[in-house]
Amino acid sequence: MSIQWVEQVLQLTVQMGTVYLLASLGEIYAERSGVLNLGLEGMMIMGAAISFIFSIAYGHLSAIFIAAIVGALMGFLLSILAVDMKLNQVVVGLALTLLGIGFSGFFTFPEIRKNILLRLNPSLPVEMLLTQQAEKLPEIPIPLFSDIPILGKMFFSHNVLVYFSLLLSIVMWLILFKTRIGLTIRSVGENPSMADSLGVNVYMVRKATTIISGAFASLAGAYFFIGFHPFWREGVTAGRGFIALALVILATWSPLRAILGAYLFGGVETFQYRLQLFGLGAQSPYFLAMLPYIMTMVTLIIISTESIKKKIGAPASLGIPYSREE
């Protein structure tokens, strides 16, 4: 148990946690405006798949960019189904998740990957066409800061997406609580008819936030793959999208608290593997794995008690489609 060990664990914690953080940031905005995006898992895994293919074909920049676009498109599809057509958000969200998992599963097969890669970039060398892994995003330690013991490794020795996620959380928090746009989003989620009567375009707001949640979920998937674990496997995200949903609740819909929650979950995951190495019995990791979900259940119960509900609760119209009755 040396300082090095602690530093490593913390660094990994942040790296694991970033997946959850990115996904939950977008979802926080969507849920704050009243839309429940159960398609997070599907969008996340699509992001991972897209980043896999495109990082091989064109490189990291295109991978991130295209992943975000695909995620935004999925978010857009969800917005049409849930906001315009006012279909049941649970049902369409689950359908989109299955769709995403299904689509991405295709990329597991080498022939299919080969076909696609060749079409994208005919000049790729053969080994690239058949590889199961991609190049990982480079780590960019921030000079000076990264030398600080413990904290340096924890916050300042990561790839660009991790830094981005931290900055993003702060910016999104500021927007949500200090700007007019943020107030509008929050109000749409609490009382859409009031917002509507005061001139707010409820539909527009909800569509925008849904698109954002899709893009970020996909970005999270892209980060997970090229930023953290660039080995493709079917179902590689293993339910992390749903964990992000849980995280949003644990963070009580606040981007800053999401950082804490994301790293908490990330830490738990990191410990799973560490403990295994310690030979603390191969079983223990599974108990720890349950922890995030149990924590979320407890949070759900606590925020449902009357006294707390008034102060920090779910946005009042979460999951309820809005229609202005004639």
Per DSSP, the three-state class of 282 is coil
3-state secondary structure of 97: helix
Burial of 167 (0-12, 13-18, 19+ CB in 10 A): exposed
For residue 64, is it left (φ>0), alpha (ψ between -120 and 50) or beta? alpha
> Taking CB under 8 A as the rule, does residue 99 contact other proteins?
yes
Phi/psi at 157 (5° precision) = -125, 65
Distance CA 128, CA 118 (A): 10
The binder of other proteins chosen from 1, 199, 277, 279 (CB under 8 A): 199
Residue among 162 and 212 whose Cβ is closer to other proteins: 212
58-87 residues near other proteins, rule: CB under 8 A: 81, 83-85, 87
- Nearer Cβ to other proteins (133/304): 304
Select the residue interacting with other proteins from 98, 151, 170, 171 (CB under 8 A).
Answer: 98
280 touches other proteins (CB under 8 A): no
d(CA 5, CA 11): 10
* Shortest distance (Å) from residue 132 CB to other proteins: 14
Q: How far is the CB of 210 from other proteins (least distance, A)?
A: 12
Q: Are 191 and 315 in contact (CB under 8 A)?
A: no
Site string for other proteins, 222-251 (x = CB under 8 A): ------------x----x--xx-xx--x--
Size of the site for other proteins (CB under 8 A): 84
Contacting other proteins within 113-132 (CB under 8 A):
115-116
The dihedrals phi and psi of 282, each to the nearest 5 degrees, come to -70, -10
In DSSP terms, 141 is beta-bridged to: 157
| Angstrom distance (rounded) from CA 259 to CA 244 | 11
Span of 7-15, 134-142, 163-171, 174-182 interacting with other proteins by CB under 8 A: 174-182
Nearest-angstrom CA–CA distance, 246 and 197: 32
Say whether residue 32 binds other proteins (CB under 8 A): no
Nearer to other proteins, 2 or 283 (CB): 283
Q: By CB under 8 A, tell whether 24 contacts other proteins.
A: no
Decide: is 281 part of the binding site for other proteins (CB under 8 A): yes
